[in-house]
Chains A and B, each alone.
Chain A
Amino acid sequence: MTESPSDTAASAPEAISTNPLFEYAARVAAAVGASAHTVDFDTIKIRVTPDQWIPALTTAKHELGLVHFSYLSAIDWTNDVEVGDPPSEEVEERFEMMAAVADLTDGRIVHFVTDLAKEDASIASATAVYAGASWHEREANEMFGIDFAGHGHLDNLYLPTEFEGNPLKKSYPLLAREVKPWPGTVDVEGMPESEEEAEAPTTTPSGASTENPGR
């Protein structure tokens, strides 16, 4: 749990009594044989191994009543980022696959997550369990370069066929910015009571700065 600092069910005993989601998350985790589970800000994450991916989703759909396929996506965890801020502390290089499935009665949504190695990332396709996974897997394929075994037609959803690269990878630069630098000064007057901040433009990313306003 390198990326989730707060309470696992075991480490927050006082919260178990107040938040029914803890008990629910523990039940789901036990049913799918998960290696770990967290409930942060009412967001349930159930961590499984890549081998358990399809069995866990099958159990969720047919036994736990999580019939609604919400979405599937990935997070690119890397310490060497091309754009944006790097992680606050060192992380293990990996793709974190996530599939969110929900019930249609009590409003519970569960995120199943699993870690994939960066090199030749591949996982079994969930389309046989949830038909709705098809487009989401195509999206993850073109955006992260993750292969979904058994999907069948992983052609690009958004990008042109001849497009090279996987834009949502952290190693992929924002090309528009490299081709054309930010053209000039941003005409924003500083906040009246924060003059000391206005004099140090590097601390106000949206304010008066000749730098690109998007950091």
Chain B
Amino acid sequence: MSIDQESLRRVAEAAVSVELETEDMTLNIGPQHPSTHGVLRLVAKVDGERVSGVQPSIGYMHRGYEKICEVRTYPQITAIINRIDWTSGYANEIPFIVAAEKLMEIEVPERAQYIRLILTEMARIASHLMFMASYPLELGATTPLMFALRERERVLDLIESVTGGRFHPNFNRIGGVKPAYGSGSATRKTIQDLPQGFLQGTRDTMDAVLGTCDEIESLVTGNEIFVARTKGIGVLPPDVAADYGVTGPNLRASGIRFDLRKVGDYLPYDRFDFVVPIGQTGDSWDRWWVRLEEIRQACRIVQQAVDGVPSGPLQAKVPKIIKVPKGEVYVRAENPKGEMGYYIVSEGGQGPYRLKIRSASFSNLSMLSWILEGVLVPDIIAIMGSLDFVLGDVDR
């Protein structure tokens, strides 16, 4: 019997070492796969478990915003652009409004700037908490979802209490933020400001979010499966990231300490103390860690801002019918997903002649073919999830 087994083993070994004739298989992922965060289709060529090439196919969410904005007025456009990146709708409005204000040379009151800043950072926290929920889920860990969404709900409630909207606040007006009952109206003089208890509620929520960050970190950092699936997976070198126009946490995870909040002047970030976290290697783990750290820093900014909200008007004086003087301007802001910018070409009318929307996820996703070259099939999900894109932000 033992001889028989020995010869069987030899035969089996011989069979394994034979060069097999294999063909590349085309694997279609999406457009409805849960990890595609919307409707993204990947056409992957796979050689066994190894990916030899990926062709992303986008456009399922294309809504033609750049065209429709040419026939809309500036106040109408803010409602449209909320829908670009719906996980942080509020943050989408900021660069557009600031760009229009630059062209009109309007000085925004301090109080409005602080409210904008607080809500922008809350949108960042909400967006990153969504990532904290979805990314481990895609890798098989369900518990962080419960922790992250619980706190995200509290942050969204705060945004809703001020703006009236959870995802699409449409709260900014050219010259400031929206007073709840319409400014200057003779019959409705009441101008609602921040709701009662908002500042204390924000302080409590920020403490809770910071606590949840610790919980999520302790849940995930020591999780061997999570670490094995993310450490060293999907390494993005800094020069490739810059070449493809990758921005935001994905860029910083590659070790480039660049944050438009530090170098830009679109909101008064220079008054607050916060650090820009960067990653060491640019792998999926770093992209995860940078976002976790950014939630903590955003909480710090909000905590400092609610302590220093100045009093004063919510809006600058603006004409009733907004007409933006002729000119061209590009304003970009550090959105949760990366650099979001608007190039406004105004010809002096009530709407822009041309509005170019530079969205973060579009450029972040454009290097997908590069980063997925040669990875294993299950790593596609691990890498794609770590890039944290939203298809509305890709297709516009």
Interface residues, chain A, with chain B CB atoms under 8 Å away? 3-6, 40-43, 45, 67-71, 73, 75-76, 83-88, 98, 100, 104-107, 109, 111, 130-132, 134-136, 143, 156-159, 167-168, 172, 174, 191-194, 197, 203-206, 213-215
Q: Report the Cα distance A159→B58, complex, angstroms.
A: 9
Given the complex, which residues of A lie within 8 Å of B70, measured CB to CB? 83-84
Is B93 close to A, CB under 8 A?
no
Chain B residues numbered 62-90 whose CB sits less than 8 Å from any CB in chain A: 62, 64, 66-68, 70-73, 75-76
Q: Report the Cα distance A206→B347, complex, angstroms.
A: 19
Given the complex, which residues of B lie within 8 Å of A174, measured CB to CB? 67-68, 71
User: Contact at A69–B347, with CB atoms within 8 Å?
Assistant: no
Q: List 27 A-B contacts (CB under 8 A).
A: A4-B327, A43-B328, A68-B247, A70-B341, A73-B343, A83-B71, A84-B71, A84-B351, A85-B353, A87-B347, A100-B358, A106-B263, A107-B258, A107-B260, A109-B332, A130-B244, A131-B240, A132-B363, A134-B366, A135-B366, A168-B66, A172-B67, A174-B67, A191-B182, A197-B320, A206-B73, A214-B76
User: Contact at A69–B328, with CB atoms within 8 Å?
Assistant: no
User: Contact at A215–B73, with CB atoms within 8 Å?
Assistant: yes
Which of B182, B245, B326, B341 is in CB contact (< 8 Å) with A69? Answer: B245
Which of B58, B244, B245 is in CB contact (< 8 Å) with A158? Answer: B58
Minimum CB distance partner of B70 in chain A: A84
Would A68 and B59 be within 8 Å (CB), given that A104-B256, A104-B258, A193-B186 are in contact?
no
Given the complex, which residues of A lie within 8 Å of B348, measured CB to CB? 88
Minimum CB distance partner of B349 in chain A: A85
Minimum CB distance partner of A68 in chain B: B242
User: Contact at A191–B320, with CB atoms within 8 Å?
Assistant: yes
Minimum CB distance partner of A213 in chain B: B76
Chain B residues numbered 209-254 whose CB sits less than 8 Å from any CB in chain A: 239-240, 242-247, 251
Q: How far is the CB of B69 from chain A (nearest CB, A)?
A: 9
Given the complex, which residues of B lie within 8 Å of A205, measured CB to CB? 73, 350
User: Contact at B59–A167, with CB atoms within 8 Å?
Assistant: no
Chain B residues numbered 328-370 whose CB sits less than 8 Å from any CB in chain A: 328-330, 332, 339, 341, 343, 345, 347-351, 353-354, 356, 358, 362-363, 366-367, 370
Minimum CB distance partner of B240 in chain A: A131
Given the complex, which residues of B lie within 8 Å of A86, measured CB to CB? 347
Chain A proximity mask over B83-108: 1 for CB below 8 Å, otherwise 0: 00000000000000000001100000
User: Contact at A67–B347, with CB atoms within 8 Å?
Assistant: no
Q: Report the Cα distance A181→B145, complex, angstroms.
A: 45
Is B184 close to A, CB under 8 A?
yes
Minimum CB distance partner of B265 in chain A: A42
User: Contact at A206–B245, with CB atoms within 8 Å?
Assistant: no
User: Contact at A71–B356, with CB atoms within 8 Å?
Assistant: yes
Given the complex, which residues of B lie within 8 Å of A192, measured CB to CB? 185-188
User: Contact at B326–A131, with CB atoms within 8 Å?
Assistant: no
User: Contact at A132–B367, with CB atoms within 8 Å?
Assistant: yes
Minimum CB distance partner of A214 in chain B: B71
Task: Please give 12 more A-B residue pairs, beta carbons under 8 A apart, in addition to A67-B242, A69-B244, A88-B326.
Answer: A3-B345, A67-B243, A73-B356, A84-B351, A88-B349, A143-B66, A174-B67, A174-B68, A191-B320, A192-B186, A192-B187, A214-B71
Q: Choose among A67, A68, A106, A157 the residue with the greatest number of B CB atoms under 10 Å from its CB.
A: A68
Given the complex, which residues of A lie within 8 Å of B73, measured CB to CB? 205-206, 215
Q: Report the Cα distance A190→B242, complex, angstroms.
A: 50
Q: Report the Cα distance A106→B263, complex, angstroms.
A: 6
User: Contact at A194–B320, with CB atoms within 8 Å?
Assistant: yes
Is B18 close to A, CB under 8 A?
no
Minimum CB distance partner of B239 in chain A: A67
User: Contact at A107–B263, with CB atoms within 8 Å?
Assistant: yes
Given the complex, which residues of A lie within 8 Å of B329, measured CB to CB? 40-43
Q: Report the Cα distance A204→B73, complex, angstroms.
A: 10
User: Contact at A135–B362, with CB atoms within 8 Å?
Assistant: yes
Would A132 and B366 be within 8 Å (CB), given that A84-B70, A111-B330 are in contact?
yes
Is B151 close to A, CB under 8 A?
no
Chain A proximity mask over B364-380: 1 for CB below 8 Å, otherwise 0: 00110010000000000
